[in-house]
């Protein structure tokens, strides 16, 4: 460390030998500029700006962006969501994400998965529209990869304009050929201004190919603790905890060009590089796998609803204003409330499917259907 308890350590006996390095010289210059000019001069922390995470008014945001139920509306107007994910090993994650979107109130939910995963996902529920289009390396000859990749993209593009939001990553796996195909799908979605929520193995993909989302304001990343750690190391070249959590999240969102990041934790932190919001209401101590998949589907629905309201009505009388941030706050709050309700009933035996069944009741408690 350079500063401890407000005192520069560059001049201590153990650190004089380090002071000649270029990094330490630059840091010492910065310290002097900030007013720390000697061994015992104090660092004025009050003069430094500090990023604060403001607790979001999540329930009012939920009420503001959730559409009313109207007999005049037709199928599709309440949202059409597509999940890009699902392979041989992982079929539950895309199902959890897609069915959560329907349980919250989306009208249609699609899953684009590998051919092996499709029959399994179909068997979970007839409510989902399942497209067995994706391919993995083991089933594709090297000389056929280019032609098959183009075919996969062309098939997905046929549907793209119908979707209000994509969820990329649940159960995707890390097969190189499959990830290459998904990269092309994401590029086309971005060109078409389709919002993208990225979770699971989708975060593995974008961490290694930041250009897929960098500078795209309709992208939402939903990392858990390990996924967030890898993003911070890649983008900020430091470790988590090297600075205040809210400040670091703000720096990370800025570093990826203003994407929205929902950092999952005891309290969820959300930033688009401009503000940092916190969602700490509700929650559950039960950490069964699959809750992140529910969250991704939830954020996708609320993001699409927020965007529709903003397009239709202009400036909503709520803050923040970004549809990606609004969708993230609403999705986080609803997921946490559903988890708390499920835990009340099932305690240690709470499963992801129990939480999904509480989504409708949770939204009804906050925003009753009329």
Hey, which bits of 177-255 come out as E strands? 196-198, 219-221
227 is in an annotated binding site: yes
Q: Please count the CA atoms within 13 angstroms of the CA of 323 that sit on its side-chain side.
A: 28
Two tokens, residue 118: 């499709």
Q: Does 149 show up as a binding residue in the annotation?
A: no
Is position 298 annotated in a ligand binding site? no
285 annotated as belonging to a binding site for a ligand: yes
75 assigned binding-site residue? no
Distance CA 312, CA 145 (A): 43
**230 in a known ligand binding site:** yes
Q: Is 225 annotated as a binding residue?
A: yes
The tokens 């709470």 sit on which residue?
350
Is 284 within any annotated ligand binding site? Answer: yes
135 a known binding residue?
no
44 annotated ligand binder: no
Strand, coil or helix: 135? coil
- The answer to whether 293 is annotated as binding is yes
> Is 307 marked within a binding site?
no
**Measured distance CA(74)–CA(84) in Å, rounded:** 25
287 is in an annotated binding site: yes
Residue 286 known to bind ligand: yes
The answer to whether the annotation marks 175 as part of a ligand binding site is no
Q: Contact at 8 Å (CB) between 121 and 91?
A: yes
- The residues that bridge with 261 in the sheet, in sequence order, are 221, 271
288 marked ligand binding residue: yes
- Find out whether 296 and 222 touch, Cβ atoms under 8 Å: yes
- Would the annotation count 301 as a binding residue? no
The response to whether 229 counts as a known ligand-binding position is yes
| Sign of the CA dihedral running 116, 117, 120, 122 | negative
290 assigned ligand-binding residue? yes
**CA–CA distance, 222 with 252 (Å, rounded to integer):** 13
265 is in an annotated binding site: yes
Which residues are documented as binding site for ATP?
264-268, 283-292
Which residues are documented as binding site for (6S)-NADPHX?
171, 224-230, 293
Which residues are documented as binding site?
171, 224-230, 264-268, 283-293
């Amino acid at each position: 460390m350079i500063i401890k308890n407000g005192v520069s350590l560059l001049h201590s006996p153990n650190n004089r030998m380090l002071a000649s390095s270029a990094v330490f010289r630059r840091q010492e210059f910065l310290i002097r500029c900030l007013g720390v000019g000697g061994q015992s001069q104090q660092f004025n922390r009050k003069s430094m700006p500090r990023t604060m995470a403001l607790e979001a008014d999540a329930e009012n945001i939920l009420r503001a962006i959730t559409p009313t139920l109207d007999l005049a509306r037709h199928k599709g107007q309440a949202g059409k969501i597509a999940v890009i994910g699902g392979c041989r090993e992982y079929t539950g994650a895309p199902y959890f994400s897609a069915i959560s979107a329907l349980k919250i109130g989306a009208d249609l939910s699609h899953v684009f998965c590998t051919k092996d995963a499709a029959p399994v996902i179909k068997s979970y529920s007839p409510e989902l529209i399942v497209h067995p289009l994706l391919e993995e390396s083991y089933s594709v000859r090297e000389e056929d990869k280019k032609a098959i990749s183009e075919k996969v993209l062309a098939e997905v593009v046929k549907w793209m304009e119908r979707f209000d939001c994509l969820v990329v990553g649940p159960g995707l796996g890390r097969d190189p050929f499959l990830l290459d195909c998904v990269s092309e799908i994401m590029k086309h979605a971005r060109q078409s201004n389709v919002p993208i929520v990225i979770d699971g193995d989708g975060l593995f993909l974008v961490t290694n190919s930041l250009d897929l989302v960098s500078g795209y304001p309709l992208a939402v990343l939903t990392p858990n603790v390990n996924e967030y750690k890898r993003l911070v190391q890649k983008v900020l070249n430091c470790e988590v905890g090297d600075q205040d959590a809210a400040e670091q999240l703000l720096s990370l969102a800025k570093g990826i060009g203003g994407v929205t990041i929902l950092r999952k934790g005891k309290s969820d932190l959300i930033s688009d590089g401009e503000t940092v919001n916190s969602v700490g209401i509700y929650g559950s101590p039960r950490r069964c796998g699959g809750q992140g998949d529910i969250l991704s589907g939830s954020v996708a629905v609320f993001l699409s609803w927020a965007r529709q309201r903003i397009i239709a009505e202009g400036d909503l009388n709520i803050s923040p204003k970004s549809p990606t941030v609004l969708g993230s706050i609403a999705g986080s709050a609803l997921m946490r409330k559903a988890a708390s309700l499920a835990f009340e009933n099932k305690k240690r035996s709470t499963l992801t499917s129990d939480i999904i069944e509480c989504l409708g009741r949770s939204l009804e408690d906050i925003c009753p259907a009329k």
